[in-house]
Structure 1
Amino acid sequence: MQPVDADWATDWLTSCGLQVSPPLTAQRIGAGLSNLTYRIEDHAARAWVLRRPPSGKLLASAHDVLREARIVDALSGTAVPVPRIYGARHNATGVPWVLMEHLGGVVIDDMDTAARTPIAERASIGLDMATTLGHVHAVDLEETRLQDLASHNPYAPRQLKRWNRQWEASKTGELPALDSLSRRLERAMPAQEETTLVHGDFHIKNVITDHGTIVGVLDWELSTLGNPLADLGTLLAYWPAHGESDISDRTSASTLPGFPSRAELIDQYATTTGRDTSDVGFWHVLGLWKIAIIAEGVLRRSLDTPADRARTGVPTRDVITSIVSYAHAIADDASL
């Protein structure tokens, strides 16, 4: 079965005023393990992107591509680089799809692509990620009409409550080390002093790069309102140093020479925003904790719906356990 109905997609693109030369072809792109993304191309080599939720049983409030499209559309015209949203609609079976611009550039979503990235560009990419994150947190919520996107209550307890629910709903078995990590985070929650737009899943596989700069920020499905340092913590969680863990060395561009250190990312963010980053250790650990829970959800969906598995495969229980162990080590370093 074709992943995208070509006739349906052609009618949709045409109704959006886009020039289309049939036939269309569709190819799944990205290393994403959540919403499904397809590059569609016409006979004249024009390209667009279609995005939809995964198949199978979904957790409540997860994989909301229509909400994601609203956020991306609201950011058009801000300093945050995002693709243009052309529209959203449901197909004949009721599945929501979003049609968006195809941005040129490179997504560094595997180690081969990272290795091909010129060393001279690697530091620039990492530092520009921290700068771009500062742009996300500078978005005017009223001007973009995103002030009602989520609760303005303190973010840390909201996150712990939400992701504990996700864990209980998706876990494939007990993992006492994760429960212990949850308790450590509950005891160490910092006070919230400001509320900004939060991307929620900001890392190198969710940005498009072009000659050392960030030209697109993707995958806004976890975006919300909260503490900006949460995004910095997520970036650090996906940014291990060489030799720091077996998992990291196989999957993370940041382990290659030339990419900046976590300390350099923190300094760049602090310089860009003027924010105090002294509580970032908590958010780093929270980011790792969420990664483990997300990975468990991916594992659960892969068992339920094998056809939706990403090309990079799915995490194993051993990998998830290793992430939790790594998070405990970072928590020790941060004195949580």
Structure 2
Amino acid sequence: MIAPQDRQKLAQWLGARLDGMGPDLTLRPISGGQSNPTAFLDSGTRHLVLRGRPQGVLLPSAHAVDREFRVQKALAGQGVPVPEVLLYCDDRSITGTEFYVMERVEGRVLHDNRLSELPAPERRMVFDDLARTLAAVHRVDIDAAGLQDFGRRGGFAARQIARWSRQWDLSNPRPNPDIDRLKAWLGAHIPAEDCTTLVHGDFRLGNVMLHPSEPRIVAVLDWELSTLGHPLADLAHSCVYTWFMGPQDYGRGLRGLDPAALDLPRMEEFTARYFAAAGGGAELSTFWLALALFRNAVIFEGIAERARQGNASAANAAEVGRLAPVLARLGAALTEDICP
């Protein structure tokens, strides 16, 4: 993640800005992610987390650690559990890329939506808190948090279709008729209803931290895709990772399983919990699910391209990238069932 010769520069840079730092530091990479390389950082009496952009050529606007830092700083005291962010550095001479550091939060990050590590009675409690926490993100007063310029208001769906269509082309993909069908269908079915909230952009089980021993969320992580947008885009993304991916896929989802037999909620139960906590709405439409599948197909194709370039953040990037056509096919099938 950081070249050995750069660690001393990093130790000096942090030591000049943070109390409790020692003359040396240790870094332990945190595995499992496909986005911004992340590591535990220990020095002196400080136990921190360092998060930076990947090395190499990146897609435009991807891996925006500056936005991650800004939104987490703005959310302090806003009712959304986030780590305390400390410092942001855009001087690439320190580590070779931009980075930020934050306080370490103790807890558990569980990536498998079956939650087999937990006692059965706690599994629904985790999903209930996941729904409540996502609703809390969407209830944030954008102006009070100083995020009024964090994105554009209104028109989020159309911009997302255009953005991810461009990203697909930039990822140098193989031809995919399902992507072509999804783009056409989405463009013709944008909902008339519109609203704007803060959106996380990648809200799912693997991006929250649970209390070390209790079934509740103590931190929401990985804010690199956060912006102002439509809350149902966030909700649909969570649903795609949980109920549209299989247990062997990257998302470790529940597709093909019986949630009730595992003491887990069905998608309709989860969305009902979300709408109750959000204070409005009653249905997650096909459009938002199809958009989430399209968007994630593009993201996974980008991961595959980074694997081809040799600068992916995780060793299984090529395997993960093979999910792109699977998600595109699921999205196309979903829209064809509703509107051929």
**Is 1:286–2:291 an aligned residue pair?**
yes
Match of 2:231 in 1: 228
Match of 1:320 in 2: 324
Query: SS state of the match for residue 198, structure 2?
Result: strand
Give the Cα separation in 1 of the matches to 2:125 and 2:31. 22
Contact preservation (8 Å) 1:254, 1:260: no
- With normalisation by structure 2, the TM-score equals 0.89
Matches within 5 A, 1:16-95: 16-42=17-43, 46-89=46-89, 90-92=91-93, 95=97
Match of 1:96 in 2: 98
Give the Cα separation in 2 of the matches to 1:335 and 1:129. 31
Contact preservation (8 Å) 1:26, 1:38: yes
Give the Cα separation in 2 of the matches to 1:114 and 1:21. 39
Identity of aligned residues (%): 34
Give the Cα separation in 1 of the matches to 2:41 and 2:241. 29
Give how far 1:193 is off. 2.9
- With normalisation by structure 1, the TM-score equals 0.90
Contact preservation (8 Å) 1:10, 1:22: yes
Matches within 5 A, 1:207-246: 207-210=208-211, 211-240=214-243
Contact preservation (8 Å) 2:15, 2:21: yes
Contact preservation (8 Å) 1:30, 1:109: no
Give how far 1:59 is off. 1.3
Q: Which amino acid aligns with 1:25?
A: T
Show structure 1 runs of 5+ residues with no match.
none
Change (3 A) 1:309 1:225: closer
Query: SS state of the match for residue 201, structure 1?
Result: coil
Give how far 1:170 is off. 0.7
Give the Cα separation in 1 of the matches to 2:216 and 2:120. 13
Which moves more between the two structures, 151-160 or 274-283? Answer: 274-283
Matches within 5 A, 1:152-301: 152-210=153-211, 211-240=214-243, 247-255=246-254, 257-301=262-306
Q: Which amino acid aligns with 2:64?
A: D
Show structure 2 runs of 5+ residues with no match.
none
Q: Deviations over 1:199-250 (max 9, x none)?
A: 111111111112211111111111111111111111111111xxx76x4444
Contact preservation (8 Å) 1:114, 1:253: no
Question: How many pairs align?
Answer: 329
Give the Cα separation in 2 of the matches to 1:47 and 1:222. 26
